[in-house]
């Protein structure tokens, strides 16, 4: 009987009816003995998103047959889907070694390397795939993304254009070319390419999203509103577009910026929509609406992981730390709440427990700078000497003056005057993004260094690179321990992968924060009010003070006086904030993150 069911499952699998195939395999998977049946079962489970079930069947298959390229490729697919990128790369490498003439295997390897930010090796794998099959469109598109990530924008455009020439009715190269134009600030060309992708596939919501971002970056207010409405008519509950639309409405101080969430929530409440909606309400301190949404979610969906996480966030903002711990202890999902457990114990002075939680979080995601910041804070609270290594500001911080890059002071003064005027024109919003740390100021949209056509911005970027690159090179010989996160995460090539400008006026400041996706972060001061001086630390950049409560209050352990033309570099895991100031004048800053390549395209 099981053999007949397996045969029917294989038929369904071959027809592409994966839902039916999975249902049939569920009835017989424990009794499968033929390798081709087990392989089809594992592949079916993988394609319907049941990765752990696919892994179980694959392990069973591997005990019965010799390893083949197809088996290793499927293993790589499963590992990649579950975020085990190192294991996926290893699997794909083995598959490529066994079948070096198969271009699809080189492409799969490149895809995993790209996802793991190993762009150079990904390019090598793609070039091998294209040597075998020069018209391999997916490989050309991924090659274009690799080239864009390493700032070879003209070559990237050529790769996308070649792919379009080969398959003009394939939406993918049009879409990626459009994203390249968005990233580079080529608004009209971005609209054209993204429009071409949507002509082929009207349901391509990432292209709709990119069109909206393109309009936001170019300052098209009415166009942005029209694009948002058009996109939400097609996909009323698209979380990404709703989040972008809400952020845009907040930054422009629109009345009722949450109407996008309200409408989608009334239409079809989901866990993902709830998580984004409640987080936005909490960030805006709209506690009454947050409580109403919590109650609505509990009534319609229940007290699941999303509800618990939101409840813990609300309790943290209210200072109810004992209640946080009680909720975590009573939850069957307590292992998912390590971060909130860590924060609650910080507030109650249980620093050893906070350290244990932070260490688990850091080990689970070593590149996550927020988890590293939690661990660093725990070490400081415990008086552990390892804190001194992670916060060795004398070694880890660069303070430099950009005027050294100009022939004389008048030349730099003229450059600075022109740059201030140009940056002020780019501050087109009325409020900073809700998720960002700035209060009482605005932030420029998009990636400043990549988008700007101004020679002033290009000159600034080159000046910053000339000053910062020698510093980064010196870090390797600065006496840092080999296990120091700055050394272990040292990028092959430090890229400016995100950049923006912040402008604050009297009373404006930055809340304490870190940059979770960076390696090094910065503050480059373009204009500084005269009221920021030696008399107090008003307006200063301060380091070391966390944004959450600790029983023994931690003060900043390092401060820097801003000066027009000064560049400050510091590790991205270091808590940093700016003090507010009173008086006339704007504090105008260009900031950027340095690290792995930007993968926006």
pLDDT digits (tens, 9 = 90+) for 441-472: 999 999 999 998 899 999 999 999 999 999 99
Mean pLDDT estimate for the chain:
95
Report the residue count for the chain.
601
For the residues of 397-439, what is the DSSP string, one character each? -EEEEGGGGSSSHHHHHHHHHHHHHHHHHH---SS--TTSSEE
Determine the average pLDDT of the residues in 392-403: 95
Domain range for 508? 394-595
- Residues 60, 111, single domain; the answer is no
459: three-class secondary structure by DSSP: helix
**Residue that is written with structure tokens 């070559």 in the block:** 155
Residue 223 belongs to some domain of the structure: no
Residue 401 belongs to some domain of the structure: yes
Q: Is the pLDDT of residue 119 over 90?
A: yes
Residue 517 belongs to some domain of the structure: yes
DSSP secondary structure letter of residue 148: H
- Residues 468, 577, single domain; the answer is yes
Alpha helix segments (H runs only) across 29-118: 35-47, 51-62, 69-81, 85-98, 103-115
Q: Is the pLDDT of residue 407 over 80?
A: no
Residue 269 belongs to some domain of the structure: no
Rounded-to-integer distance, Cα 10 and Cα 156, Å: 41
- Residues 18, 100, single domain; the answer is no
- Residues 1, 114, single domain; the answer is no
CATH number at 27 reads: 1.25.40
Residue 167 belongs to some domain of the structure: no
pLDDT of res. 1: 59
- Residues 404, 512, single domain; the answer is yes
- Residues 417, 535, single domain; the answer is yes
- Residues 40, 86, single domain; the answer is no
Residue 276 belongs to some domain of the structure: no
pLDDT digits (tens, 9 = 90+) for 250-291: 999 998 999 999 999 999 999 999 999 999 999 999 999 999
Q: Is the pLDDT of residue 219 over 90?
A: no
- Residues 79, 55, single domain; the answer is no
pLDDT of res. 432: 83
CATH number at 554 reads: 2.60.120.620
Domain count, the chain: 3
Residue 245 belongs to some domain of the structure: no
- Residues 528, 489, single domain; the answer is yes
- Residues 124, 28, single domain; the answer is no
pLDDT of res. 498: 93
Residues 500, 448: contact at Cβ < 8 Å?
yes
- Residues 18, 81, single domain; the answer is no
């Amino acid at each position: 009987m099981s053999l007949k069911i397996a045969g029917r499952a294989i038929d369904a699998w071959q027809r592409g009816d994966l839902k039916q195939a999975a249902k049939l395999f569920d009835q017989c998977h424990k009794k499968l003995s033929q390798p081709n049946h087990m392989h089809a079962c594992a592949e079916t489970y993988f394609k319907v998103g049941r990765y752990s079930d696919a892994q179980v069947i694959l392990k069973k298959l591997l005990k019965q047959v010799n390893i083949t390229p197809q088996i290793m490729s499927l293993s790589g697919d499963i590992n990649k889907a579950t975020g085990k990128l190192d294991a996926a790369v290893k699997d794909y490498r083995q598959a490529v070694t066994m079948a070096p003439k198969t271009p699809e295997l080189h492409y799969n390897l490149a895809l995993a390397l790209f996802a793991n930010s190993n762009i150079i090796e990904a390019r090598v794998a793609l070039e091998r795939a294209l040597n075998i099959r020069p018209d391999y469109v997916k490989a050309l598109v991924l090659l274009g993304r690799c080239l864009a990530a390493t700032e070879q924008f003209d070559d990237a455009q050529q790769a996308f254009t070649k792919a379009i020439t080969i398959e003009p009715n394939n939406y993918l190269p049009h879409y990626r070319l459009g994203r390249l134009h968005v990233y580079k600030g080529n608004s009209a060309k971005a609209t054209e390419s993204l429009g071409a992708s949507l002509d082929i596939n009207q349901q391509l919501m990432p292209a709709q999203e990119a069109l909206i971002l393109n309009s936001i970056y170019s300052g098209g207010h009415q166009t942005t509103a029209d694009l948002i409405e058009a996109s939400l008519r097609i996909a009323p509950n698209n979380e990404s577009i709703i989040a972008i639309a809400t952020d845009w409405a907040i930054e422009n101080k629109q009345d009722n910026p949450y109407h996008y969430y309200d409408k989608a929530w009334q239409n079809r409440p989901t866990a993902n929509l709830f998580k984004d909606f409640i987080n936005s309400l909490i960030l805006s301190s709209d506690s009454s609406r947050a409580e109403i949404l919590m109650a609505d979610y509990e009534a319609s969906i229940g007290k699941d992981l999303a509800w618990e996480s939101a409840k813990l966030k609300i309790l943290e903002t209210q200072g109810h730390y004992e209640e946080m711990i009680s909720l975590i202890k009573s939850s069957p999902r307590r292992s998912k709440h390590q971060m909130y457990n860590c924060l609650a114990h910080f507030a109650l002075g249980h620093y050893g427990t906070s350290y244990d939680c932070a260490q688990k979080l850091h080990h689970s995601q070593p590149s996550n700078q927020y988890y590293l910041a939690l661990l660093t804070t725990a070490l400081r609270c415990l008086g552990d000497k390892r804190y001194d290594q992670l916060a060795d500001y004398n070694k880890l911080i660069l303070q430099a003056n950009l005027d050294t890059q100009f022939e004389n002071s008048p030349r730099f003064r003229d450059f600075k005057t022109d740059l201030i005027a140009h940056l002020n024109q780019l501050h087109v919003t009325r409020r900073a993004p809700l998720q960002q740390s700035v209060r009482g100021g605005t932030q420029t949209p998009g990636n400043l260094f990549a988008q700007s056509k101004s020679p002033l911005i290009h000159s600034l970027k080159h000046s910053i690179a000339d000053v910062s690159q020698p510093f980064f090179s010196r870090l390797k010989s600065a006496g840092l321990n080999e296990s120091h996160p700055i050394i272990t995460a040292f990028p092959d090539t430090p890229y400016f992968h995100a950049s923006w400008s912040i402008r604050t006026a009297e009373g404006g400041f930055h809340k304490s924060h870190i940059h979770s996706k960076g390696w090094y972060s910065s503050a480059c001061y373009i204009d500084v009010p005269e009221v920021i001086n030696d008399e107090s630390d008003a307006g200063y950049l301060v380091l070391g003070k966390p944004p959450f409560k600790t029983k023994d209050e931690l003060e900043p352990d390092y401060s820097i006086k801003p000066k027009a033309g000064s560049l400050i570099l510091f590790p991205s895991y270091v808590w940093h904030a700016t003090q507010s100031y009173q008086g006339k004048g704007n504090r105008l800053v260009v900031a950027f993150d340095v690290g792995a390549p930007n993968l926006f395209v």
